[in-house]
Chain A
Amino acid sequence: MRRFIRRTLELTGLDMDRLLEAANGKEALEILRRERVDLVLTDINMPSMNGEEFVAEVEADANLRSIPVVVVSTDSTQQAVRRMIQLGARGYVAKPFEPEILREELERVLGVGHE
């Protein structure tokens, strides 16, 4: 899925300096604690540390909670979306999605407009 996301982000034309990847929430937290990151995209269903635990950890860390997290998940039930937003996620994109949908959500979360 990460490969698809990378390709989709490239297709959207979003201006990105670089894209860092993590296999699960634990790896992502390690990256966030040593790199400067503008935004995180995460799935919910992940090994080791799932998306719910990851978002909660980010929100609980004063040094990380300003980093917006956008969830990309197959689960588009109202309860899942509500739960992730309550935990601290700033955006939610349900799979399947068009590249445009992902770009619009990222622009909304980052507060940048498409010219």
Chain B
Amino acid sequence: MNEAALMEGVAAVLEQVMETMFFTTLVGEVDVDPAQPLLRAQVHYSGTVDGACSLGVSPEAARSVAANFLGQEEASLQTEQVEEVICELANIVCGALLSRAYPGGSFRLGTPYLVERPPEYGFGRAFLLDSGIVEIFLAPNAS
């Protein structure tokens, strides 16, 4: 698997996704404290390459992007709505990343679900949003 192809596209894909559908700006890349609490969703993919994509968002950013995505005030959001939006965000980012890295490939994405922590192996990058932090962790061939 071409890990470099996937990782190279992370910043560009995330920037496009956040700006076009979540109306949030990517400010820059950051290091994330492993103790930083993140609302994390994971998607498994299979096909041309197999693996998992995990996306974590800091709580304040999660509420902000959920409000933007749904067109609602943050104060009116239920926890379940925020969780569903982060799952959708993980789904969109994962699909866009794979499509960009392997345009001639073929993939099946699983249903996104919430997880406590990223896969035990893989590689990740984190970015500062105007409302918090988003981290992407890719685990090729994760089962």
Contacts and interface: CB of A to CB of B under 8 A. Distances in A.
Interface residues of A, number: 19
Given A76-B96, A77-B99, A77-B105, A96 B17 contact: yes
Most buried by B among A3, A73, A77, A98: A77
Main secondary structure of the interface of A (DSSP, over half): loop
A66 interface: no
A1 B112 CA distance: 13
Contacts of A12: none
Contacts of A97: 20-21
Interface string B64-82: 0000011100000000000
B103 A75 contact: no
B34 interface: no
Contact of B94 (A73, A74, A79): A74
A55 B88 CA distance: 22
B109 A47 contact: no
A45 interface: yes
A99 to B, nearest CB: 9
B99 A94 contact: yes
Interface of B: 16-17, 20-21, 69-71, 88, 91-92, 94-96, 98-99, 102-107, 109, 111
